[in-house]
Amino acid sequence: IIEEHAPNPAAGDADRPIGYGRIQRKEDPRFVRGKGNYVDDIVLPGMLHGAILRSPVAHARLVSIDTSAALAHPGVVAVITGQDLLGLKLAWAPTLSADVQAVLVTDKVRFQGQEVAFVIAEDRYAARDALELIEVDYDVLTPVVDVRTALDPGAPVVRDELEGRTDNHIFDWEAGNAAETDAIFASADVVVSQEIVYPRSHPAPMETCGAVADFEPIEGALTLYETSQAPHAHRTLFAIVSGIPEHKIRIVSPDIGGGFGNKVGIYPGYILAVVGSIVTGRPVKWVEDRSENLMSTSFARDYIMQGEIAATKDGKILALRTNVLADHGAFNATAQPTKYPAGFFHIFTGSYDLQAAHCKVTGVYTNKAPGGVAYACSFRVTEAVYLVERLVDMLAQKIEMDSAELRLKNFIKPEQFPYMNKTGWEYDSGNYERAMRLSMEMAGYDDLRREQAEKRARGELMGIGISFFTETVGAGPRKHMDIVGLGMADGAELRIHPTGKAVVRISVQSQGQGHETTFAQIVAEEIGIPPEDIDVVHGDTDQTPFGLGTYGSRSTPVSGAAVALVARKVREKAKFIAAAMLETRPEDLEWEKGRWFVKGDPSVGKTMAEIAMGAHGTVTLPEGIDGNLDAEVTYDPPNLTFPFGAYICVVDVDPGTGHVKVRRFIAVDDCGTRINPMIIEGQVHGGLTDGVGMALMQLIEFDDEGNCLGGSFMDYLIPTAMEVPDWETGFTVTPSPHHPIGAKGIGESATVGSPPAIVNAVVDALRPFGVTHMDMPCTPARVWAAMQGRPTPP
């Protein structure tokens, strides 16, 4: 299964993929045979099935609920309402952002699709049928739908149950220096201002959310199988909320069919499955359907950004500022490190060397589903990158400069790293010009511009869009970053069995990213045992060390580092054992991949397998070295890692219909040291496809009554192979100086970087019509309207 990897001329010596590089994924044999084990595959003896009754309206007082007919329905075992949960003190649960969220409605419905009652029955059909028999009387209220008017005096108050609450304001948060920034704007030659909307989208993983709860009353122990990107953090929160001691809770996240931020939070359905199991004394499964997932689980984005960029007339960017209105829906359930209510949005200065920057974000309640999660991005980096990359393109258009040239002129230079940006981030490493030039070379940028000019002369609409992004991934460090008080660090444990086979246990949870392969590769690189002899265990709190989980591309930067360090610890221990076995001193030994040997006499040495057997054998070990070849570490990252990329998108717009075709897409990514180039390419392909969805097709919209208009895949469109081109990927390698193997994250780079490239290309194509900006998604109707100079249709 080992393939040679092609060396990359642009990366030079720095590209040295880890642990055999481009090997096939260890997990694929079970996936391609349909033998994956997802939550809905879990079947326990005596298991019951739960279904949730959801509100048809967005804002209403709950007058009464009558569950008697549902309870009488054949097969129904129990019906749980908000009143029942009040008695158990479980009607409200803490969110990940220091707010509370109703598990079941007790007083007032606050969004369409909110959880109202839970039916538990012998099978899924009976549970669903019984939902229709529940009589609910709603007193419908005016909903708060438009975030722009949510703070107006007299607007209905969404969260009137909160003491003293008279408006829909959640928080104001800012970063950077307002006074310095304003002073630069006041004297700048050129200022470009634009309202830029990143519309509400949804992570829409292929597998929806679900749980199987199994409460064992004699021991008072709970086993919970659930779709979770963070099993350990969930266990702690379940212990706090339920009162079940943490050591009596086991959370298992088996195979996960995509997370993308959607499976970070704890949804009412998970809690209801647990309550249902406690109440009935039997295991309870709850698995939502597609509409439930789209309408009630965490959305993403929904930022209205007033953005401004200041520059000299010859194109030196001086400053950036923005005011953001953030729609958080009915409960503040975003998943962000506590200190940063707007996530990492303040990386909005992008890849440019500026003099000043300032951003202010205001969070607001509306009658919409809660969430605001990092959909395949590191805590609002996507919104930040979209803002700056649109503004840079608008500036280029205004000063009539080529947009690649403008970027090249303003990049942070390699010698400026580590670079402290104006909002407090220390970028670890980068060579932006190298990546930009490689993407231009791959694209044949000058030829593309020539082709475009010829086509424009013939009335054809071709657009070339560039985006250059810097991400900030790998949260912690724990002193700055926590989620509900849990510091963002991760653990790893490595055990080498006597026969030299290994098992590494990690605290992050794969949702398809290939951790079972790449984490084995890191160990293989460090101690020389081949990846196929190393099992990676994840997703079970009884089997793995504590850690904060997988989101924000943090697995490789944090857990990947933990795995490298635990392997080094084992390697070091192996030296002492080998010395004892060879009856020599540890300092007389030298390491080569897979074995310690005597300096100057390479024929005398011990392989890792021999050392593992020795550790468990009869040789007398030195004091302080115990009889095994195991180790554990918890890694607290000193900083985040800052991957980056240069993307170029070529589109053709049909002047008759407004339809946008992405003809070419060139993506050059730099994620530092690469472990498995094939997996990296897969991550990039997926993220780019996501980007096409967001830029051209997807929108979770609401009508005036707060009805969700994106509640199925008929309305919320998912890009397929038909809508995307053959991706052209390239890479450069700029290792992270502080990561043990120099790796940065890659999982989300393409989702972050691609939407601005596509929108910039569409706007570029529409230049002959005087278009300078359009909001996503660039649907045919919107593009057509832009060509006619008409307002954007919904």
Binding interface with ligand CDP (CB under 6 A): 513-515, 518, 550, 553-556, 560, 671-676, 679-680, 683, 743-747
* Residue closer to ligand CDP (CB basis): 200 or 674: 674
Q: What angle do CA 205, 206, 210 make, to 5 degrees?
A: 75
Contact 308, 322 (CB under 8 A): yes
Closest distance to ligand CDP from the beta carbon of 554 (Å) = 5
Closest distance to ligand CDP from the beta carbon of 397 (Å) = 33
Taking the chain, what is the end-to-end CA distance rounded to the nearest angstrom?
A: 50
* Residue closer to ligand CDP (CB basis): 81 or 634: 634
What strand order describes the sheet that includes 601-607? 589-592, 595-598, 601-607
Q: What angle do CA 123, 58, 195 make, to 5 degrees?
A: 125
Closest distance to ligand CDP from the beta carbon of 265 (Å) = 17
* Residue closer to ligand CDP (CB basis): 23 or 222: 23
Contact 645, 435 (CB under 8 A): yes
Contact 278, 120 (CB under 8 A): no
CA atoms within 13 A on the CB side of 437: 9
Q: In angstroms, rounded to a whole number, what is the distance separating the alpha carbons of residues 47 and 41?
A: 12
Contact partners, residue 217, CB within 8 Å, separation at least 6: 278, 281
Closest distance to ligand CDP from the beta carbon of 645 (Å) = 12
* Residue closer to ligand CDP (CB basis): 672 or 730: 672
For residue 269, the surrounding DSSP H or E stretch is helix 268-280
* Residue closer to ligand CDP (CB basis): 498 or 682: 682
* Residue closer to ligand CDP (CB basis): 422 or 538: 538
Closest distance to ligand CDP from the beta carbon of 677 (Å) = 7
Closest distance to ligand CDP from the beta carbon of 17 (Å) = 8
Q: In angstroms, rounded to a whole number, what is the distance separating the alpha carbons of residues 73 and 694?
A: 43
* Residue closer to ligand CDP (CB basis): 614 or 643: 643
Closest distance to ligand CDP from the beta carbon of 421 (Å) = 22
Which string of b and e fits 340-354 if b means at least 16 CB within 10 Å? bbbbbbbbbbbbbbb
DSSP class of residue 354?
A: -
Look at the alpha carbons of 177, 180, 186, 188 in this order and tell me if their dihedral is positive or negative: negative
For residue 691, the surrounding DSSP H or E stretch is helix 677-696
Instruction: Using CB atoms within 10 Å of the CB of residue 303, give its burial: 0 to 12 exposed, 13 to 18 middle, 19+ buried.
Output: buried
Strand pairing category for 660-670 and 644-653: antiparallel
Closest distance to ligand CDP from the beta carbon of 742 (Å) = 8
Output the CA–CA distances (angstroms, integers) from residue 322 to 174, 307, 349, 364, 419, in the order listed.
Answer: 10, 4, 10, 17, 22
Closest distance to ligand CDP from the beta carbon of 734 (Å) = 11
Give the tokens for residue 418.
């580590």
Closest distance to ligand CDP from the beta carbon of 680 (Å) = 5
Closest distance to ligand CDP from the beta carbon of 297 (Å) = 18
Give me the residue label for tokens 């993307």: 647
* Residue closer to ligand CDP (CB basis): 12 or 627: 12
* Residue closer to ligand CDP (CB basis): 328 or 739: 739
Closest distance to ligand CDP from the beta carbon of 735 (Å) = 9
Q: What angle do CA 309, 351, 638 make, to 5 degrees?
A: 130
* Residue closer to ligand CDP (CB basis): 531 or 710: 531
* Residue closer to ligand CDP (CB basis): 80 or 743: 743
Q: Which residue is nearest to ligand CDP (CB)?
A: 747
* Residue closer to ligand CDP (CB basis): 18 or 222: 18
